[in-house]
Amino acid sequence: MKSRVRAWVLVLFAVVAAAAAGFAASWVNARERAADLAHAAAAKSPPGAAQDEPGYATAEAVSVHFDDPHAPSLPAEMAALGAARFHNQAGHPELALQQLERLRSRYPTGALRSERTAELAIAQCALGKRDEAGQTLADLARLAAPAELVSRVKTACDHATTPAR
């Protein structure tokens, strides 16, 4: 009897482990897809853009479109957030704001709301909108965001307002 119970426990454990591995794989695939999208878009230039402007990508090239209403929200949120982060890091915060607004309207209470709010504050700082960024940072604190995330936003905002030497 004990061996049967032990066998069933092992089978149950294997099923749970396989399910967890499948979830982890889909999570990783979504992150890789967002990174691939950002890298592919970096190679594209908008019409009329200077060819010597590396890393410039159009909003259409990097932005994630929410065409499938039946798609799970987490992979779509991750891809859209990755696109917004790409725009911020590439020095195009206005494009990041567009992407973040689409993300907010589609998933107002999404799983990555804190991360979305942090990217919004970073984009606002990069555009010189210090008052709006301060309000967004207060919103981030109300969301009980991790201290590392708040620190990243503050550091990015400090660098955005500090003149290069």
E strands, the chain, are none
Does an H or E element contain 117, and which? helix 113-126
What is the pLDDT, as a whole number, of residue 19? 57
Q: Which of 16-20, 75-79, 90-94, 148-152 shows the lowest mean pLDDT across its residues? A: 16-20
Q: Any idea what the CATH number is for the domain that residue 40 is in?
A: 1.25.40.10
Question: Tokens standing for 40?
Answer: 């592919």
Q: Count the domains in the chain.
A: 1
Categorize the per-residue pLDDT at 160 as very low, low, confident or very high, splitting at 50, 70 and 90: confident
**Identity of the residue numbered 5:** V
pLDDT > 70? residue 71:
no
**44 or 137: which leads in pLDDT:** 137
Question: Tokens standing for 138?
Answer: 């207060």
Structural domain for 17, as ranges: 2-161
Q: Which of 10-24, 37-51, 150-164 shows the lowest mean pLDDT across its residues? A: 37-51
- Over residues 14-34, the mean pLDDT reads 56
Q: What is the DSSP letter of 162?
A: S
Cα–Cα distance, 138 to 145 (Å, whole number) = 10
